[in-house]
């Protein structure tokens, strides 16, 4: 397949990623307005984000088998339609429970959309072209986080928070048409019967653990129910791992962790993404609730993070060629942690431009880390195992931001409770940023265990 075909497929697949990333970015900006309209505490509205991410995590393991059985292109198109339909329902929700249910349906569409789209791109690509293809895939997708915060703020102030969901309709329909027109069909295969036991155990474990983490101490349900859910999730996780290690065709191919590059990107990368995933939630809530900005003002400031991330993309390839994956992940991991910790210094008296610059600088560092991790994960994966790898990595990739939101909301509530009050003050956000920075920094020693020449065929780095 010619280079231009890889680029074309990457750009079309990125239209779906653009829609998903835009959805997440505009929703974060609209959360305070949603809380007021639905008469909910802003920290509880984090469930609108985590419910979607949990649904992604639970259903992504199905995507590998479904894409092989019915054809990746067909599944990708159906996923776009499900995502758009669920977005319309989210915009019509009248309460938190209804919104969460619709977000779960939206997550089902996203679960099939992201890993299957990546599979369409990576299935037949040469290793030497992988870094370039991933850059073409992620750069358009980053337009979502860049445009999302200001767009979300403007739509919320001019119309209502419901409009942030309806914007997905035209984007999704255009993406659907481009996929149908330009991407060649991938014939279905015969993957054999699905590992129903493994899928059920994995899904139950992820859902129960996230339910427990999201609700414990929140008085949404009795604390006993939260702890029972958490314990049952851990038990289900134990049996899921045990089953998948023994099954002939497991729902989750744990043998991929024998590949050092995949293992580092999946495990150390998940730790980094969990800490970094707290930042997009904390920033707009801090600016609006802690500093008193409007949704539009908050969006125009907080989109600096994505702007920095977008500016980093052209620099990733030369940087990785010079330093290799290990050098970049270790050094830049420290820089990224420092960038998150620096947000603890931000206060209501800071000029908006100073906050903007600090957020943009942090976006640069986190963007390099994300791109390096997402490319390293598939550097040594054989073509015949790419489907299983995209499903497993996609599961961990979506679980981490959900854990990041849980981390952020738990840190906020712990800080306010420790001070003996219910309302959130700027000091609560400062403490939460420091907690997130520690989690980001904890990934660095794990990256240091990589071989200096890890993924050199992809990065082009030679010692």
pLDDT (0 to 100) of residue 3: 45
222 and 285 housed in the same domain: no
228 and 270 housed in the same domain: no
pLDDT (0 to 100) of residue 41: 72
- Which domain-ending residue is among 210, 229, 250? 250
pLDDT (0 to 100) of residue 425: 85
171 and 280 housed in the same domain: yes
Q: How far is CA 437 from the centre of its chain?
A: 18
Q: Which candidate, 32, 18, 21, 44, places its Cα nearest to that of 297?
A: 32
DSSP state of 77: H
240 and 167 housed in the same domain: no
172 and 307 housed in the same domain: yes
87 and 158 housed in the same domain: yes
Q: Which candidate, 310, 27, 371, 26, places its Cα nearest to that of 143?
A: 310
189 and 201 housed in the same domain: no
104 and 43 housed in the same domain: yes
**Window from 65-74, 167-176, 366-375 with minimum mean pLDDT:** 65-74
pLDDT (0 to 100) of residue 4: 44
Helix, strand, coil % over all residues of the chain, rounded to 5 = 80, 0, 20
39 and 101 housed in the same domain: yes
Which CA distances in Å does 269 have to 24, 86, 316, 394, 436? 20, 30, 17, 12, 14
Which CA distances in Å does 239 have to 169, 252, 395? 40, 12, 18
Report which of residues 143 and 34 the model is more confident about: 34
User: Looking at residue 105, which CATH number applies to its domain?
Assistant: 1.20.1250.20
pLDDT (0 to 100) of residue 44: 67
What's the whole-model pTM score?
A: 0.77
Report which of residues 123 and 224 the model is more confident about: 224
Tens digits of per-residue pLDDT, 307-349? 787 788 778 888 888 998 999 999 999 999 999 999 999 988 8
- The domain of 224 spans 195-250
Whether the per-residue pLDDT at 127 is higher than 50: the answer is yes
- Which domain-ending residue is among 234, 250, 266? 250
Whether the per-residue pLDDT at 53 is higher than 80: the answer is no
Task: Give the chain's domain count.
Answer: 2
- Which domain-ending residue is among 250, 265, 288? 250
293 and 201 housed in the same domain: no
242 and 278 housed in the same domain: no
245 and 263 housed in the same domain: no
Tens digits of per-residue pLDDT, 242-289? 999 988 888 888 999 999 999 999 999 999 999 998 888 888 888 888
Whether the per-residue pLDDT at 390 is higher than 60: the answer is yes
Whether the per-residue pLDDT at 295 is higher than 50: the answer is yes
pLDDT (0 to 100) of residue 260: 92
């Amino acid at each position: 397949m010619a280079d231009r075909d890889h680029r074309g497929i990457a750009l079309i697949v990125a239209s779906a990623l653009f829609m998903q990333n835009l959805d997440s970015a505009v929703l974060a900006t609209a959360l305070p307005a949603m809380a007021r309209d639905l008469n909910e505490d802003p920290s509880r509205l984090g469930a609108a984000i985590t419910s979607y991410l949990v649904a992604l995590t639970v259903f992504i393991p199905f995507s590998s088998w479904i894409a092989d059985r019915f054809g990746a292109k067909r599944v990708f198109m159906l996923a776009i339609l499900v995502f758009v339909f669920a977005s319309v329902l989210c915009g019509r929700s009248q309460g938190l429970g209804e919104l969460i249910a619709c977000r779960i349906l939206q997550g089902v569409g996203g679960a099939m959309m992201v890993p299957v789209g990546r599979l369409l791109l990576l299935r037949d690509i040469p290793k030497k072209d992988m870094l370039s293809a991933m850059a073409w895939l992620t750069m358009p997708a980053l337009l979502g986080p860049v445009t999302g915060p200001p767009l979300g703020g403007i739509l919320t102030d001019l119309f209502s928070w419901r409009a942030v969901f309806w914007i997905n309709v035209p984007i999704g329909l255009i993406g659907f048409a481009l996929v149908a027109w330009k991407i060649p069909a991938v014939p279905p295969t015969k993957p054999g019967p699905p590992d129903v036991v493994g899928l059920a155990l994995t899904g139950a474990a992820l859902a129960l653990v996230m339910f427990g983490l999201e609700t414990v101490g929140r008085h949404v349900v009795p604390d006993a129910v939260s702890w029972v859910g958490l314990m049952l999730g851990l038990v289900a996780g134990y049996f899921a791992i045990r089953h998948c290690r023994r099954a002939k065709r497991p729902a989750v191919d744990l043998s991929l962790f024998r590949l050092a590059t995949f293992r580092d990107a999946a495990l150390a990368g998940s730790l980094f993404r969990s800490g970094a995933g707290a930042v997009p939630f904390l920033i707009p809530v801090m600016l609006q609730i802690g500093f008193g900005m409007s949704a539009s003002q908050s969006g125009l400031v907080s989109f600096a993070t994505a702007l920095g991330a977008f500016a980093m993309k052209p620099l990733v390839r030369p940087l990785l060629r010079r330093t290799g994956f290990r050098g970049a992940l270790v050094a830049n991991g420290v820089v990224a942690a420092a960038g998150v910790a620096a947000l603890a210094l931000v206060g209501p008296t800071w000029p908006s431009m100073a906050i903007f610059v600090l957020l943009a600088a942090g976006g640069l560092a986190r963007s390099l880390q994300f791109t390096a991790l997402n490319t390293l994960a598939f550097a040594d994966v054989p073509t015949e195992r790419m489907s299983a790898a995209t499903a497993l990595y996609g599961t961990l990739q979506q679980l981490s931001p959900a854990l990041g939101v849980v981390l952020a909301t738990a840190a906020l509530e712990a800080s306010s409770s420790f001070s003996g009050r219910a309302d959130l003050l700027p000091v609560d956000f400062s403490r939460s940023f420091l907690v997130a920075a520690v989690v980001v920094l904890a990934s660095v020693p794990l990256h240091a265990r990589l071989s200096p020449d890890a993924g050199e065929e992809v990065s082009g780095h030679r010692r």
